[in-house]
Homo-oligomer: A and B are copies of this chain.
Amino acid sequence: MSLLFPSRWRPASLTLALICLGLLGHSAQAEEIKSPNNQLALTFTLQAGGVPTYSLTYKGRPVIKTSKLGLDLKQGPGLTSGFAVADAQKTTFDQSWQPVWGEVKTIRNHYNELTITLTQAATKRTMLVHFRVFDDGLGFRYDFPKQPELTYFVVKEERTQFALAADHKAFWLPGDYDTQEYSTTTSKLSEVRGLMKKAVTPNASQTTFSPTGLQTPLMLKSPDGLYINLHEAALIDYSTMSLELDDKNMVLESHLTPDAQGNKGYLQTPCRSPWRTVIVSDKAGDILESKLVLNLNEPTKYQDVSWIKPTKYVGVWWEMITGKSTWSYTDGGNIKLDSTNYAKLKPNGTHAANTAHVKEYIDFAAKHHLDAVLVEGWNTGWEDWFGQSKDYVFDFVTPYPDFDVQELHRYAAGKGIKIIMHHETSGSVRNYERHLDKAYKFMADNGYSAVKSGYVGDILPRGEHHYSQWINNHYLYA
């Protein structure tokens, strides 16, 4: 996994129209709202036993059939039944904003919202569900207000269902706690189970969880020509959602990434789940053009976003991936950063990130009007960089003997080219956090203004996963 120039945005060009339609009564058991263009209809229904459900139609055709909502908790009764509807609020929102960068200059955030307040009499707990219906789909999330009887709680599993109307064609990847690097398999949902084994190709870190476990975003096409995309937005302080397919009933259910103890999330009220998203259209291109997920993500917290720029770059990395050269400076292994003396080791002669070779990349970038050169393998430690559950694997500041940081920046600057830093963490997250300050200072001191970070290999702290809440929080911290 690599993170470069994370997508961030900010609200702008505010054209707000907020209409509060008021209280609809405590006895309401079903509520409906439609998209601004009236083509989508969302229905919330409280079923027998106080089980909250929802359904969604598009131009009168079923997208999500009646599907259950809620969460199982590690301790005490779950938040899945025994509810009454205490309140239902409908509002409309219409605002345009400008992303820092993207395909379009202005994005319209236009939806009708239904907020259901659920109270669980037996436990005196309250949970809200917000539904936002856009012209291009639905977003909904759980909202846990501050309250005496629900403060700290541990999620055993989220039980959000997506009941499909048929055995759709799916463009799917295996659900995995540690990697999203699989090729897409195209099949009917009923064929997933038979194709899963073939779909799970090797990766440096991988943890599949079910023969019918699927990643989000999951792209579907219904027999009657509807394109449906299931995903999430505003993934903050929560674990990543995969989907578990019940291939008898064609019901998908949320499956969160666990931590080392098998728990799915540690929450403290007030707090909210990420948005669960259903983008839908009868034109495939609409799915690609949808800005629903961007509209539901949080606005950036940065006041100054002038430093966020799209960059076209060439990278010293594919020649290592293809095996032509190496990240490492020597062919030996068993490196200890605090005692290995590279000056005494024999260079392997295949180290790509050497000063002369990187200059060739800089020349290439300048000739072809690129902005930057990414250099992987510039720093010590690559001899045994993953697969060893190694804690102190990189220090992010020490170049190999044949990589002259200052000379390369001088050379690159002379040609108007930037060098992009590479922080491969090898999944050793504590080690990265311990070195973050010095690593960023090294970048600032040496003229780097962008970094690609990577998390190849199993996560340390051991037992955590690439997409667990703990590690998702790390990504935002780093």
Q: Which residues of A contact B (CB under 8 A)?
A: 146, 151-152, 154, 259-261, 263, 266, 268-269, 333-334, 336, 384, 388-391, 430, 433-434, 437, 461-464, 470, 473, 477
With A268-B390, A433-B433 already in contact, the answer to whether A151 and B461 are too (CB < 8 A) is: no
- In the complex, the count of this chain's copies comes to 2
Name the CB-closest residue of B to A388: B152
In the assembled complex, which residues on chain B have CB atoms less than 8 Å from the CB atom of A434? 433, 477
- A230 vs chain B, min Cβ distance (A): 29
Q: Report the Cα distance A389→B263, complex, angstroms.
A: 12
Pick 7 A–B contacts, CB within 8 A, sort by A.
Answer: A151-B384, A152-B388, A259-B463, A260-B260, A260-B261, A433-B433, A433-B434
B477 touches A470 (CB 8 A): no
Q: Which residues of B contact A390 (CB under 8 A)?
A: 152, 266, 268
Residue of B nearest to A263 (CB): B462
Contact of B334 with A268 in the complex, beta carbons under 8 Å = yes
Instruction: State A464–B470 Cα separation when bound (angstroms).
Output: 14
A389 to B434 Cα, complex, angstroms? 22
User: B391 near A473 (CB under 8 angstroms)?
Assistant: yes
A269 close to B334 (CB less than 8 A): yes
Closest 10 CB pairs of A and B: A260-B260, A260-B463, A461-B461, A152-B388, A151-B334, A261-B463, A261-B462, A463-B463, A266-B389, A259-B462
User: How many angstroms between the C-alpha atoms of A154 and B390 in the bound complex?
Assistant: 11
Given contacts A390-B268, A434-B477, contact A260 B152 (CB under 8 A): no
Chain B residues whose CB sits within 8 angstroms of the CB of A152 once the complex forms: 334, 384, 388-390
- Asked if A260 and B462 make an inter-chain contact with CB atoms under 8 angstroms apart, the answer reads yes
Complex Cα–Cα for A260 and B463 (A): 6
A154 to B152, CA, bound (A): 35
Distance A334 CA – B152 CA, assembled complex (angstroms): 8
Chain B residue numbers with a CB within 8 Å of A461 are: 260, 461, 463-464, 470
- Taking a contact as CB atoms closer than 8 A, the residue among B259, B336, B464, B470 that contacts A268 in the complex is B336
Minimum CB–CB distance from A281 to chain B (whole Å) comes to 39
Q: In the complex, A141→B310 CA distance in Å? A: 56
Residue contact B391 to A266, C-beta cutoff 8 Å: yes
